Structure 1
Amino acid sequence: HRLPSDFLVLRDRDLDESEILLPVTDNAHADLSAEVAAGLRTAAGSAVTLLHVVDSPEERERGEQFLADWATERGLGDAKFVVDDSGDVERAIEREARDHTLLVVGATERGLLTRLVTGTLHFKIVEDVECSVLLAERSSGRSFLRRLFGWARSLCSALAIDRTGWLRTESS
């Protein structure tokens, strides 16, 4: 039940890969997204825009340097760079996606499957943007069931629920 490879999920809205938006964080899933964007650039001549969101204007310079280094290391140094200093990742993605035909989103460290099941994936973004959306997740070696349902164990721990399904109390 292990996922043998990386996987992609496409929300197709008249797929056009000519203008790709790739929000960038520093994790393995973003690396997979970069590989996909670079492959589409090579195969289809896609223009690639990299978006990195920082928390404040004071962090803009650090964000610009991070994005330049990240892009160069992944062969995307010729992409267009956008650093948003609003700290609001969802709004920044929605705003930038208006000028793009394909949004490529990498999973977070929690993983795409977990985020899909728990609803923490930014479905608002996936639903609200008009362009096609490609979700990417790098294989982690965890089993499919662990990836899908591992969040339940974390939730139970956070809520102090034991294996019997009862809420633990201090005297338990």
Structure 2
Amino acid sequence: MPYRWSDTADPTPTLTLWPHRSLPRAGFAAVVLGCFTAITLPLYGLLGTVLLWGLLPFLLMAVGALWWGLEASYRSGEIEERLVFTDPDLHLTRRNPKGDTQEWQCNAYWARATLHPKGGPVPNYVTLSGNGREVEIGAFLSEDERKALYLDLDHRLRGMHLG
């Protein structure tokens, strides 16, 4: 699950969310190296010919385009959301891929988690509302992960209201 709660003994529980990565950095290098190897195999038969120099730039551009595309995907996924439960407030901070941050804060007693099964930018859209504002949380998660996140958040917020 690409989100984690801090230790339960922690006096300020913190929820950290991040996008799922199906290809780790080591896999990234293996894919690019494998592609390079597969593309250069047919060139060994052309060693010593002019045709090799005619094909080589295009094959290297294909490997470069693969690397650039995967790197752009990694950069766009550098999102982190952190929800800190301090008494009596909630504080949500979102760090976007370009480095800018967005923040939201409200009194935890008035905070509500809402699951929007339809009508949001994604199915089962999760929002937090309070302090006259409604903000999204975990929009980059999968549909099942957003459902689980909603249940976790709702349970934690209800526990804060009762305790």
Same fold, judged at TM 0.5 (above): no
**Structure possessing the higher radius of gyration over alpha carbons:** 2
Structure ranking higher in strand proportion: 2
Please report the TM-score for the alignment, with normalisation by the length of structure 2: 0.23
Please report the TM-score for the alignment, with normalisation by the length of structure 1: 0.22
Q: Report which structure shows greater RCO (CA 8 Å, sep ≥6).
A: 1
